[in-house]
Structure 1
Amino acid sequence: MPQPPKLLTPSNSPLDLFGSEVRRYRVLANYSIKQLAAKIPYSPSFIGVVERAESHCERAFAEHCDAVLDTKQALSHLHDGLFGNKKDAFPEWFRKWPTVEEEAGTLKVYSPIVVHGLLQMEAYASALLFGDSQAIDARMARQAILTRADPVPPRLIYVLPETVLWYDVGGRDVMRSQLDCLAGASNDRLSIQVVPNGARHPGNQGEFMIATLPGGEEIAFADSAGRGIMMDTREDIYRLKERFDAIATQALPTSLSADLIAHTIEEKWTT
């Protein structure tokens, strides 16, 4: 039996007001979320998080909804009034990547400093984002792809060095909860593998992600000191895949990785 839609209070926030209006116009037009997604370049899960006030959206989303739902530009006008030129809570250079994550069949991720955003708990993300509620909400909304029912979640292969487990983000309680979550997170769609400290590998050049789409296309995203860069050329993808494979060969299997995470909780983060 489907869950009832989340109750929104439009006066609570701009996100609540915008989400409630998207839902209202969609229902008035007699569209389901899936039917609307079939006519605009956004997935059902993304429409859902916007309607539930869990994420910002770019103005183009409002424009597409206006055209399909025949709102006479009401949603675009509302978006302008509520958000101005702020398209969402992501920086400009990252804005397209969450859509790639939504569409991916497989994601390969290497994060050398902190736990990757798709697996961060809210308290951990809050410490990294200095309590910025909009940025935190946007990061949490990205994680919906890992628990969705339709389509199936992407296959996520996450590799991290052991030193990530030692880096204090938010204090002992936050770290203990975050690592406990990691230790039990692996399943048939998600593998978490830790590279033991001291293992030699080419993973000291920053975070990167490789997405394989259902049609076989591959897109990558690599972080640098000041911004991230999306890549889709064959040479760039090949180079990052070679690097990922070289790092992954030094990683422990998922069960031993979980044991190492649990051991780290006891040794470092339990008083």
Structure 2
Amino acid sequence: MPQRPKRLTPSRGPLDLFGSEVRRYRELAGLSLAQFADKIPFAASTIGEIERGEAACDRVFAEQCDRVLDTREALTHLHDGLFDGRTAVFPEHFAAWPDYELQAEVMRSYEPLVIDGLLQTPSYAEVLLYGDRQAVQARIERQSVLVRDEPPPPRLIYLLPERVLRSRVGTTEVMYEQLHRLADAVSPRLSVQVIPDGPPHPGNLGAFRIATLPEKTRIAYTASEPHGKILDGRFDIERLHERFADIATYALPAELSAVLIREIAEDVWKP
């Protein structure tokens, strides 16, 4: 017997909504996955993953679907509205997170290895992303959420160990610019707090972010191997929130952190 198609829940997120519309138009056209794959330059397995909301796609996929399925550009229009080009460069497990950043009223971030992407300079991001220009542009565009006028930008509380400031990413020029950018970012709505080198602290289990959305609901993203994941379970998020509070007790206040960041920039990274 043929496998029953996965039941789709469009309300779960943009990937599920887009995938459900692709499947709907394909079925209205009377095409199987294999038949559809014969008409566009994408494998049936890839199309299936997109339809199930398990994989992101770029705008070209939407354009090819519109061409074959005679949708009057409905899928391209939907792709533009949902993703604004972002899914082409963000990995599938992260693709939905920028939408939560846009909705967030408060964001908490702990990153033990590199500077948080929302505060990276283009040069620093380019090293981490191996020169992928599209990925760098998408990362930098995410940062606009912190400087928008309406609605007010989210409050960001960012914790990082001192060793991140001393770990080379690219050249000394890249590091010098990045650290000054980080210190300059400190403001009433953006707190950067450094955990000085010293006693062990409970922040050795990996990076994570917590977004507090309207009506005080929370969602989290955790970084892990082979890839990160988005969490919405209350128990998991409460545990992460408690861990963040515990880590924060080891951090310097934002003003002292900015002083330390500038000192490291001048002492270690000044070209």
Q: Same fold (TM over 0.5)?
A: yes
SS at the partner of 1:149? coil
Q: Alpha carbons of 1:140 and 1:239: their partners in 2 closer, same or farther (altered >3 Å)? A: same
Structure 2 CA distance for aligned equivalents of residues 119 and 262 of structure 1? 15
SS at the partner of 1:191? strand
Q: Alpha carbons of 1:257 and 1:77: their partners in 2 closer, same or farther (altered >3 Å)? A: closer
Alpha-carbon distance, 1:189 to partner: 1.0
Which entry has the higher C-alpha Rg, 1 or 2? 2
Q: Normalised by the size of structure 1, how large is the TM-score?
A: 0.70
SS at the partner of 1:92? coil
Structure 2 CA distance for aligned equivalents of residues 263 and 58 of structure 1? 43
User: Unpaired segments of 5 or more residues in structure 1?
Assistant: 1-55, 81-85
| Corresponding residue number in structure 1 for 2:220 | 220
Q: Aligned AA for 1:122?
A: P
User: Unpaired segments of 5 or more residues in structure 2?
Assistant: 1-55, 81-85
Alpha-carbon distance, 1:79 to partner: 6.9
SS at the partner of 1:238? helix
Q: Normalised by the size of structure 2, how large is the TM-score?
A: 0.70
Q: Aligned AA for 1:196?
A: P
Query: Any idea what the Cα deviations from partners look like across 1:89-111, whole Å, max 9, x if unmatched?
Result: 00110000010011000000000
Q: How does 1:44-193 map to 2 (within 5 A)?
A: 72-73=72-73, 76=76, 87-193=87-193
Note if contact 1:200-1:250 (Cα within 8 Å) is conserved in structure 2.
no
Query: Any idea what the Cα deviations from partners look like across 1:140-191, whole Å, max 9, x if unmatched?
Result: 1110100100011000000000000011111100100000111121111100
Q: Alpha carbons of 1:229 and 1:78: their partners in 2 closer, same or farther (altered >3 Å)? A: closer
Alpha-carbon distance, 1:57 to partner: 8.4
RMSD of the TM alignment (CA)?
2.5
| Corresponding residue number in structure 2 for 1:13 | none
Please list every run of at least 4 consecutive aligned residues from structure 1 whose deviation after the TM superposition is greater than 4 angstroms: 56-59, 77-80
Q: Aligned AA for 1:181?
A: R
| Corresponding residue number in structure 2 for 1:207 | 207
Alpha-carbon distance, 1:77 to partner: 8.1
Q: Aligned AA for 2:154?
A: P
Q: Aligned AA for 1:260?
A: L
| Corresponding residue number in structure 1 for 2:252 | 252
Q: Aligned AA for 1:198?
A: G
| Corresponding residue number in structure 2 for 1:9 | none
Q: Alpha carbons of 1:166 and 1:76: their partners in 2 closer, same or farther (altered >3 Å)? A: same
Alpha-carbon distance, 1:233 to partner: 1.0
